Structure formats: C-alpha cells, structure tokens
Amino acid sequence: MLYPLRFRQIASRNQQWSANTLRGAFGAAMKRLHPKAYEQYFAPRSLAGPSGLATPPRPFVFRLRENEVGLNLFAATEGALGVFQDGMRELGFALIDPPALLRLPLKPSAKKPATNNITKLRVRFLSPTEIERGAADAEQVEFGVLARRVRDRVSTLRALYGTGALDIDFAAFGAAADMVRTIGTELKQVREERVSKATGQRHPIGGFTGFAEYEGELTMFVPYFEAAQYTGVGRQTVWGKGEISVEEI
C-alpha cells in the first residue's frame, strides 16, 4: 500500500530543488512542525532487518520532475498523510490531486494472461543506483543480487509501515532469482556528492545509471519490480537514488 502524491510549487515560491536539498528542507520543516512525527518517519531508530540493515528505511521517496514533485508515501495512515502534506505546504508546494491509496499486489494477476510466462525483462536505472555498500561501480548487475534487494526493501517497508513483512520463502526466492541470466547491460557511473549543512562533511551519493536485460523464469518477480518502481532500490533512496522502471522485452 502507498500514496503516490504529486505536488506543484506555488508560483510565488518558485525555487530550484534537487532531491538532496528538498529532502533536507523537508526534514527541517517536519522537525519544526511535527517533532514527534519527525522522529517516527524521518529519523527512525535502528532495527535488525534483512541483509544487516543498520537503520530502517524512511517511509517515503521523492521523485523530481520538470513541473512537479512526486512523493511516494508508504506510511499509509491519515495521520501520516496530514504530516507530509504540512511539510510540503511549508516549503511552498500544493497538492495536485486528492490522495488516493494504491495497492500493489505481489503476485501475478490471473486477469493478465500475458504476464503468465515472462521470460525477458529490461530494468532501467533512472537515477544513480547503489545496490551494495561500497559497490557503486558496476559493469554488470546480477539479477539475483538485484531481486534480493528489491525483495528486502519491499518487505522491510511493509514490516515497519504497512501490513507486515512478506510471508514468503526468502531462500527459495533468492535461489530462483539466481537462475535468471543477464543477457545485456549498458551502465555508466555517475559521481555525485552532497554536503551536510550540519557538519560540513561531504557524502557520496553517486551510483550507476543505464539498463540491464535479463532472461529466465521471471513471472514471479515482475510484481516485486513493479512495486520497486515506487519504492526505489538500493542505498539512499530517500535522496532520489535507485529509481527504476521495468518492461517486458
């Protein structure tokens, strides 16, 4: 479950934003307006999660477009909705459409016969993506590694902010993903960094962009990757990293 919110900037408050600067300003606004919600959603405490997560993911990601800002919110409650809308309003953004809850099923739909036997898939990495800590450089993205990161992110978001962790056999999921072959890639390294206003320290937020193509028994994985189009995948998604799209080929 998620709320894919869209905002436009009020003309009188016109300002150029990057995902990094918007995230910082939004956090400051939330801390000022709703300090308890800030602790809950913007600075959640550590937990023992999949793949050794040191800190839990935030329940939102930004998606900057030419004329609007997307905010995918995974904390699907009325209280969270109000808090996030207040934060964006404080920065001079107005909601474009009324909030609408989107449910993303994680099983192939029987109503879509065309999805019953998907054997080739292309995943596009639309913003810098870093799948593993310290491994932003990539010549090839193995499907098994990518699918595990998608699975873990979706499961952790559900556990923290939704209906509960995925009720699946994680080992079997990973073993099936390892059987999928990489048949083509076109990836390039992007080097970016952000500067913390609080400490003055520079932090890398780069990764790779481009696409990877896969072949194998992919049908069971497609719903997870469709969900990942909203959640993002990999590290630092809250800054806009790890945005993907997926298409059958």
β-partners of residue 122 are 213, 247
CB atoms within 10 A of CB 219: 15
Q: What is the pLDDT of residue 115?
A: 47
What confidence category does residue 14 fall into, taking pLDDT thresholds of 50, 70 and 90? confident
With vertex at residue 190, the alpha carbon angle to CA 187 and CA 192, rounded to the nearest 5 degrees, is 160
Tell me which of 191 and 100 has the higher pLDDT. Answer: 100
Q: What is the pLDDT of residue 51?
A: 46
- Are 80 and 73 contacting, i.e. CB atoms less than 8 angstroms apart? yes
Does residue 244 carry a pLDDT above 90? Answer: yes
Mean pLDDT along residues 212-230: 96
| For the chain, percent of residues with pLDDT exceeding 70 | 84
Which of 95, 182, 187 is closest to 135 using CA atoms? 187
CB atoms within 10 A of CB 71: 21
- Are 154 and 166 contacting, i.e. CB atoms less than 8 angstroms apart? yes
* Confidence (pTM): 0.86
